[in-house]
C-alpha cells in the first residue's frame, strides 16, 4: 500500500482501511439481526472512529457482511457540519433518506418532518427494508442544547417500533456527554451496545506495516522496530511514522531526523490526548516518567491506562508507550529526564570535537 492517503485525514478510500475485523464483525452481527440493533463506538482522539464508520457504511462492506444487503438503506451522516442547528439536522436526515429511497421531501416544519420520516420508515419496514444511520461525532448533538429531549425520544421510538438502528461515534460514552440531566437520563441511550475502539492489536499492526511501503520498498526491520517503539500501535501515529519514513532519504542521520520530525508532527496530537486526561490520569503518567511507584489506591487508574495502551509494564514497572509522548509529558511538567541530560551531554561532546 502506497501512502497515497493523507495521514491527517480519515480514510475515504476503503482500500486503505486496515484492521478492526473483530469489531466490524461484532457491529454487523448487531446490524444484521432480525431487528437491527444500535451500537455506540467510543474512542479517543484520532482513534479511527470516522474511518471505521465510513468503512462500515460503504456498499461493498455491506455486501460482504450482510446476506440481504439489498434490503438495507445505510446512510453515513457526519454530524460535525450538519448538527449546527436542530432544524438543519432534522431536514438533513429527511433529505438524505429521500435520496436513498428516491422519494420527494419538502421541509415545512419539525413536526411534519417527524411525520414524514416516521411514515417512510414504517412503510419500508412493512416491506422488510431496514435503515441504518451511521452518525459520526454524535456527541455534538447530545452536547447541543438546541436538541430537545423530544428529538431523542423520537429516534428511540423509530428504533423500538421499526427496522431502524443507529451506529454512532463519540470520544466518551454518550451519557457522559449530555448537555442536560434530562437528556442524560433519556431511555434513548438504553438501546445502544457500547464498543470501545482501542489501538491496533499486534497482528493488526503487523498487517498494516506489511501493506505499507516506503517509496515502493518494504519497511526494513530496523525501521519497523523504531516505528513500533514510537507509535504504540495507535493507527494515527502508525500512519504518521510511515509517512515520515517515506519522505526521508537514506542517510546516517535518518534515525535522528525521524525522531525530531515525528515529535514535531505528533505534538498537536499529544496535546489533544493530554487535555482529555483528568488530573488523576496525568499524575499516573508523570509518575511513570519519574519511575515512581504507583500507590495501590491508584491501581485502577493505572490499569485503565494500560488497557488503552498509554502505559505498558516492564519488570512490573510502568512505562509510557512512546519516547515521544514521554518527551511531551516531560515538557508539559518541566521534568528534566535522563534522556534530556543524555542528549545535552552528547551535544556538548560534539561541540568539543568540532573545536
Domains by residue range for the chain, with CATH: 20-197 (3.40.50.300), 202-354 (no CATH)
| Burial grade of 17 (CB within 10 A; 0-12, 13-18, 19 or more) | buried
Grid cell locating 272: 489533544
What's the pLDDT score for residue 210? 77
At a CB cut-off of 8 Å and minimum separation 6, what does 66 contact? 28, 31, 32, 72
Alpha-helical (H) ranges within the chain are 21-31, 49-57, 59-65, 86-100, 110-126, 139-142, 149-161, 181-184, 202-211, 221-231, 235-247, 254-276, 279-289, 299-307, 323-332, 338-354
DSSP class of residue 202 equals: H
What separation in angstroms does the CA of 102 have from each of 77, 94, 305? 18, 12, 48
What's the pLDDT score for residue 213? 61
What's the pLDDT score for residue 175? 83
pTM of the model: 0.85
What's the pLDDT score for residue 84? 67
State pLDDT tens for residues 150-173: 999 999 999 999 999 999 999 888
What's the pLDDT score for residue 58? 94
All residue ranges of the chain with pLDDT < 70 are: 1-9, 81-84, 212-218, 247-254, 336-355
What's the pLDDT score for residue 354? 53
The continuous run of DSSP H or E covering 41 comes out as strand 38-43
Q: How many CB atoms lie within 10 A of CB 350?
A: 10
Grid cell locating 310: 498509554
Amino acid at each position: 500500500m502506497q501512502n497515497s492517503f493523507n495521514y491527517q485525514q480519515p480514510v475515504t478510500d476503503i482500500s486503505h482501511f486496515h484492521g478492526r475485523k473483530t469489531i466490524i464483525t461484532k457491529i454487523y452481527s448487531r446490524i444484521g439481526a432480525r431487528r437491527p440493533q444500535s451500537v455506540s463506538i467510543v474512542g479517543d482522539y484520532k482513534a479511527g472512529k470516522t474511518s471505521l464508520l465510513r468503512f462500515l457504511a460503504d456498499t461493498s462492506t455491506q455486501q460482504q457482511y450482510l446476506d440481504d444487503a439489498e434490503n438495507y438503506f445505510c446512510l453515513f451522516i457526519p454530524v460535525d457540519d450538519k448538527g449546527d442547528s436542530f432544524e438543519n439536522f432534522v431536514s438533513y436526515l429527511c433529505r438524505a433518506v429521500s435520496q436513498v429511497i428516491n422519494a420527494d421531501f419538502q421541509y415545512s416544519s419539525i413536526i411534519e418532518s417527524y411525520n414524514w420520516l416516521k411514515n417512510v420508515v414504517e412503510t419500508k419496514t412493512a416491506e422488510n427494508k431496514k435503515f441504518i444511520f451511521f452518525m459520526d461525532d454524535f456527541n455534538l448533538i447530545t452536547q447541543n442544547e438546541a436538541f430537545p429531549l423530544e428529538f431523542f425520544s423520537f429516534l428511540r421510538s423509530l428504533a423500538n417500533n421499526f427496522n431502524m438502528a443507529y451506529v454512532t461515534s463519540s470520544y466518551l460514552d454518550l451519557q457522559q456527554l449530555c448537555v442536560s440531566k434530562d437528556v442524560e437520563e433519556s431511555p434513548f441511550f438504553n438501546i445502544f451496545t457500547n464498543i470501545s475502539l482501542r489501538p491496533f492489536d499486534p497482528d493488526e499492526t503487523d498487517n498494516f506495516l506489511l501493506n505499507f511501503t516506503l517509496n515502493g520498498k518494504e519497511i526494513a526491520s530496523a525501521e519497523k522496530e523504531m516505528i513500533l517503539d514510537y507509535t504504540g500501535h495507535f493507527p494515527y501515529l502508525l500512519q504518521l511514522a510511515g509517512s515520515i519514513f517515506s519522505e526521508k532519504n537514506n542517510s546516517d542521520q535518518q534515525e535522528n531526523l525521524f525522531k525530531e520530525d515525528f515529535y514535531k508532527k505528533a505534538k498537536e496530537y499529544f496535546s489533544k490526548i493530554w487535555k482529555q486526561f483528568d488530573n488523576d490520569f496525568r499524575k499516573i503518567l508523570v509518575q511513570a516518567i519519574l519511575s515512581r511507584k504507583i500507590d495501590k489506591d491508584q491501581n485502577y487508574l493505572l490499569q485503565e491506562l494500560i488497557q488503552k495502551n498509554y502505559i505498558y509494564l516492564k519488570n512490573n514497572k510502568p512505562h509510557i508507550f512512546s519516547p515521544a509522548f514521554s518527551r511531551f509529558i516531560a515538557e508539559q511538567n518541566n521534568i528534566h529526564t535522563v534522556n534530556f541530560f543524555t542528549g545535552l551531554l552528547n551535544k556538548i561532546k560534539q561541540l568539543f570535537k568540532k573545536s
